[in-house]
Structure 1
Amino acid sequence: MSGVDGERWLRVTAVPMMAGDTVTGGVAVLQDVTQERSAQIALQILAARNREILESISDAFYAVDAQWRLTYINRKAEEIWGRSRRDLLGLNLWEAFPATFEPQAHDAHLRAAETREVVRMETGSAIRGHWIDLTIYPAADGLSVYFRDISERKTAEDRLRESEERHRAILDSVLDYAIFTTDGEGRIETWPRGAEAVFGWSAAEAVGRHAAITFVPEDRDAGVPDAELAEARDTGFAANVRWHRRKDGRRVFIEGSTRPLRGDGAEPLGYLKVGQDVTQRRQWEGRQTVLVAELQHRTRNLIAVVRSMADKTMRRAADLGDFREKFRDRLEALARVQGLLSRLDEHDRVTFDELVRTELTALGVPDAGPERVVLDGPAGIRLRSGTVQTLAMALHELATNAAKYGALHQPEGQLVLSWRFEANGEGDRPWLHIDWREHGVVMPDPGTAPHGSGQGRELIERALPYQLKARTSYALEEDGVRCTISIAVSATVADG
């Protein structure tokens, strides 16, 4: 038995002294076991403390002996497994959870037992379908195993990975935007497909180089790349709207910005650069500016032409009715030529045969039949845009006069309009030679005033040579009007 004497522990062993069957006395042996008892108490306290720690930690814990029998299970393990320790302690681990441990986890237990080394891994757990972080420690009499449920973290990681993949897919699909990042010094760190499409460098070629490679030489010489980063660092934003340079040397206009990527420190971790390729829009804006200026120029010229036309018509009109009729006809002719010009693309030209047929059709001339009107000349001779309006008005005057008084009015009249193209004419330029000839016309008696006004003749003999440097002639012959016009034209001839 054990007793206590003050602060010391004693073990008492008593042996009776016998005489036959009679006890005659006894012998007591006292042994001081204070140190042994203190060690036992300390071990009990330590064990209790360890149990308290194992029960309070957030990790699940279990221990097995060398025969894989479960010797300890904490509350967290009960919670994750959904089973009571009373039902599990003493059972073989593999028998307690048949076919529930993933092969990787099973092999990890065996490896730790065989090598006596710590094994740590993340693996799926068939028990409740969770992900676990598993750490196995070899112990003197078996294994001590800690594990924690990391399903939420793995789900968050999966969502983050999916988000990154979606983000990467978005960046890779936006090919007219260059979106990339640099480090704090401006060296390129990421280079998606959009940046490659806009600037031409591949990711392998661009990453690690300074973003200044995308700037045009004059901006690099002026220190613009570093100034842009400095502005973004100091203000949080820097506009980047300027011409840039592609790998092949061509220029691309970018509308974008640079923003700092902030961390905990005062200096940026890097920079985000976003820019849209608006080169085509920029070119269209430039073309639009030119077209607006051209429209303003043409409008001013057109107003001047209308004013001059009104003045000349008024001077030669017999009365207001005569003025209204002639001025209306000339305005319609002017509108027709403007219609032709408005349908042209930038490099198109009005052709002479198109101009002739438009004017004659408006006057109803084709209805007269081929015996009345003969058109003879090559198709597709391109007229200079600056000559079309004045030449069209001259043709209108000739056709109107012929329709009212000449070959297209009188029953025996005939109009022969021929033209030819001279590739190397005066001044080594291409020229168009036009011959308007009327036949079968009864002309006024000599000395009497010719029919019609002299405005058309004035336009042909004075305006064309002065405005277009044309060579012209106008004559009243015995059987009709004859007019010739020679004018410089475009160097090319349209197909057909």
Structure 2
Amino acid sequence: MNALSDQTASSDSQTDDSSWLETRLVAFDEIVAVVEEYAIFTLTPSGEILDWNAGAERIMGYRSEEMIGQSSGCFFSEVERAGGVPQGILEIAIRDGSFTGEGWRLRKGGERFWGHVTITALRSPEGEVQGFLQITRDLTQRRMTMEALRQSEERFRLLVESVRDYAIFMLDPEGHVMSWNIGAHRIKGYDQDEIIGQHFSIFYPQPAKESGVPLKLLAQALREGRAEQEGWRMRKDGTRFWGHVLITPLLDHSGELRGYAKITRDLTDRRQAESLREAGRRKDTFLATLAHELRNPLAPILPGVDIILRSPGDPEKVAGVAAMLKRQVDQMAHLIDDLVDISRITTGKIELRKSQVAFSEVMERALEAIKPLIERQEQVLTLNLASGDLRIEADPHRLAQLLSNLLSNAAKYTPTRGHIQLSVMAESEEMLKISVKDDGRGIPLEFQQSIFELFDQGGTGPAEGLGIGLTLVRSLAEMHGGKVTVASGGEGQGSEFTVRLPVLVPGEGLSSPVHPASADPNVPAALRVVIADDSRSAADIMGMFFRMEGFEAAVAYDGDEAVTQARAFQPDLVVLDLGMPKIDGFEACKRIRKMFPQAVMVALSGWGSREDRRRSSEAGFDEHLVKPVSPDDLRAFLASYFKKSRAG
């Protein structure tokens, strides 16, 4: 009874398991039948289709009743069928248990699609192949996207490789060259097999490599997303070219650095053209400035001569005018000497006459030349000299010229009552260090490299001088085997010029006290005619001229002082130089015109172009006279002025 019960129970259990399995299989078939993303169907061992799901109908385009019993070879082209491709795939599935691959398949109507196919062999418990399960996915869109990307990359590769005007190449994260295009070969001279694997610092001059420029550019590119620079680069043959460089980091989807893209353009021709244009601009500026600088000393000379001719019986007046004439002639001679020196240096015709001499003698000669300018501007000159007898082996005349040019430059760009410091010390056994520091106008950073070039005034705007003083300083320093450098915090923060010369001779002794230099200004009382010119000689002689013509004259030496005197006196006539300190003649004219609309305003300038006359007219001037003005021209102007006054 118990055995029979156990047998019955076992039979019931097997029946339950079979029913459960059949139920699960039916459920699975129902799920597969409605799947639309995948074509899922089974095949006979010979490849005929046994069933067909919704995904197969959507992807292949056939209905179930059209495909049941058909060969799966209909999804292949005639060429593939003739070549036995469908059967070969089934054989691989039999051999390996499954086949997985991608390729073009055919929909109903012959349209192609890119399918991902998996075919699995179905075996009996005894291992015999009972058929196949095929799952196909339509990847046409992905295939088209990848193909478009591949073609785009190929076109880009071909484009990059064929570009001749730009060097375009890739770097690894450490900066080694990984690719090389035709433009890179043309610009830099290296063949691809020579340069691949080399560090890109090979393209930089030695000073740039020593200062770490290549690695700094990579760091900047990684930090800021790009690094851009222009500078000298090296070709394979050792020649230099001026290159514009752009470096961009390449990051993958996770943000990891994969390398850098580097684009270089050879701008040597453009730089040379710009240099030629800049040289032409400087030449034009120099010629205009030269004319201006020569007119300044001529301006007081012509009326001064007239005064002497009309005052033969006044020895005191003649002596005063003669002293002024001598100063102006000396100034013109100084300008001419500078021009001659620059010409000699640039043509290699100047020779140093070296001798052993105490540096104190050289310094005294330089201070003697610069002292009047510093005193006129009430500037304080401090000397900071090393103790000991500093003896040098140099050309004392040329070294004094170098020092006076540095001091003159400092005085020119330092305001009234500003400070200048001259420091001299032995930096080493043979090296003399000279430093001239001021608290004046300063030099913008972008002009600190070009300040020593001929006719360059550091972008500081109109100023006295031809822009050749610092060129002489550099040339004379280099002729002595030394060099000159400049340091400035920028505009308005003063400057310091440092000269190092290997001219010291062992010695001891010299010490010198610190000397401040200053001068009391001479401020004339305000009178009927206000004359303002930052050239004191020109202003003084013009004042003397007007007094001799019967006018009362007040003389000012800058635009601010001219406005102050005009406010106190209420002048009928105002004569203003245009390029004055504090406020220029244009601004002074506007302020005086507001106070005294009836006053006649006269611009007196070394600049006389149509644009200069237009600017003075717009500022409110009635007349624009160009220096030097002859006494007869001034008298004719005054006669016209009085005639107009009487007519009014």
TM-score, length of structure 2 as denominator length: 0.39
Kindly indicate which of the two structures has a greater share of residues assigned to strand. 1
Q: Which has the higher contact order (CA 8 A, sep 6+)?
A: 2
TM-score, length of structure 1 as denominator length: 0.50
